[in-house]
Amino acid sequence: MDNQKTAPTMELEHAIGFSGISAGLHYHPNGQDYVYPAGGCIVIASLSDPHNQVFLRGHDANITCLSMSPTGRYLASGQAGSNADILVWDYPSRQLLFRLSEHDFGINAVAFSHDEKLLVSVGSERDARIFVWDMASGNIVTTQQKLQATVLTVCWGGFHRDVKRRDTTSYLFATGGTRMLQFWVLNPASGELVASKVEFGAPVVRDYTCVQFTPDRETMVAGTTSGDFAVVHVKTRRFLQSIMACTCGVLSLLMAGTQSGFIYHVTVHPSSMSSRLICENHSNGVLSVAFAAQHSDRFATISKDCTIRIWDGSDYSVVVRMAVQNAGMPTCLAFSLGEYYYY
């Protein structure tokens, strides 16, 4: 007779949370999934089924950057802290492929090349280094030490083109950051990495938060903290114009994730644009959770983001949302249907 007792278990039904980092939300090419970081975990979620979530765990600190390869085959994530590792994941199997441990103090940005053969990573201000990695082996292709400015974003631009605009075997990528916008040409065979700054002509002082190449790779667009974006001619490396986009900083150049914890699915047509709220989350640590008495489908939360939210447990939507203003950060919560209290 088996006298062993089975230990009680709890099954995770759904996780609510979104870190809200720049370029931290990715729409998978399969048209069904989207991927985002929540603290030190990567969440793979379904657009059609909120119960369908997969969690990729391997970091021991908050994720600071996340990138998806063009076909959705790979994910790469970097973290803050002393163990500033980059984790490369195989998306179909959800398995960890590489743990890249050369950076110190933190990772600001990661990006895959157009052919998914290379990964570029940029360290934090204290690290001040760029590494390019071979995705076949996880080995280092090249590195750039002692960056002169803090790099916040990086993007590949395909193969570098010669003066007749023919593809060569070298790669091109661009970096943006604190008062800096720069192109890099990489020879993958020799590891030679050559930098060239964008020529602005007149003084233009901006901090760049995101960069992207147009499909023909002849133009690069860079978003700024000033709410405009710079247009740059790739061949001449010359600044063309600045276009105002919004009153706050441009963080993404179409799913959209906000620093307030909202995730939207944006549909673009030539004559119109529409958006649909996919999910809502706290954007900082949750301090307290309280259920209403006799009701398991309603609960309230307070967070370090100074908001109170009441949730519908059946579909994880937010029923009521309130920002705590001029009262300090809430620390504890009591909740009943019809009224709630926070302290």
Give domain status of residue 13, yes or no.
no
CB-based burial, 235-267: b 16+ in 10 Å, e otherwise? eebebeebeeeeeebbbbbebebbbebbbbbee
In a domain, 7, yes or no: no
Tokens of 268: 């673009």
Tokens representing 28 are 């998978």
Q: Are strands 95-100 and 107-112 parallel, antiparallel or unpaired?
A: unpaired
User: Within this chain, do residues 329 and 239 fall inside the same structural domain, yes or no?
Assistant: no
User: 72 and 175 in one domain?
Assistant: yes
Q: How many domains, the chain?
A: 2
294 in Cβ contact with 273 (< 8 Å) = no
- Position 343 scores a pLDDT of 47
Per-residue model confidence as pLDDT tens digits over 244-287: 766 566 555 555 555 555 665 555 555 555 666 777 888 788 88
* pLDDT tens, residue by residue, 35-57: 999 989 999 999 888 788 999 99
Do 177 and 92 reside in the same domain of the chain?
A: yes
Pair of tokens at residue 147: 């960056």
Residue 39 burial (10 A CB sphere; 0-12, 13-18, 19+)? middle
The residue out of 239, 260, 279 marking a domain boundary is 279
Domain assignment present for 10: no
Domain residues for the domain of 136 are 26-279
One digit per residue, pLDDT tens: the chain, 343 residues?
456 667 778 777 778 878 878 788 898 999 899 999 998 999 999 988 878 899 999 999 999 999 999 999 999 999 998 899 999 999 999 999 999 999 999 999 999 999 999 999 999 999 999 999 999 999 999 999 989 899 999 999 999 999 899 999 999 999 999 988 999 999 999 999 999 999 887 777 888 988 989 889 999 988 888 878 788 999 999 998 887 766 566 555 555 555 555 665 555 555 555 666 777 888 788 888 888 777 788 888 988 888 889 888 888 888 888 888 877 788 888 877 765 555 4
The answer to whether residue 114 is domain-embedded is yes
| pLDDT on residue 160 | 96
pTM of the model: 0.79
Find residue 151's DSSP bridge partners. Answer: 177
* Same domain, yes or no: 270 and 294: no
Whether 15 is covered by a domain: the verdict is no
Domain end among 226, 244, 279: 279
Which CATH number goes with the domain that contains 323? 2.40.10
Domain boundary among 279, 302, 331: 279
Q: Give residue 200's pLDDT.
A: 85
117/113 Cα distance (integer angstroms):
6
Task: Note whether residue 207 is domain-resident.
Answer: yes
Same domain, 291 and 182: no
**Residue position matching structure tokens 């809200």:** 20
User: Would you state the structure tokens that stand for residue 10, as one six-digit string?
Assistant: 């709890």
Same domain, 313 and 173: no
Residue type at 134 in one-letter notation: D
Write the secondary structure of 289-328 as one string of H (helix), E (strand) and C (coil).
Answer: EEEECCEEEEEEEEECCCEEEEEECCCCEEEEEEECCCCC
- Mark whether 84 and 181 lie in a shared domain: yes
CB–CB of 218/238 below 8 Å? Answer: no
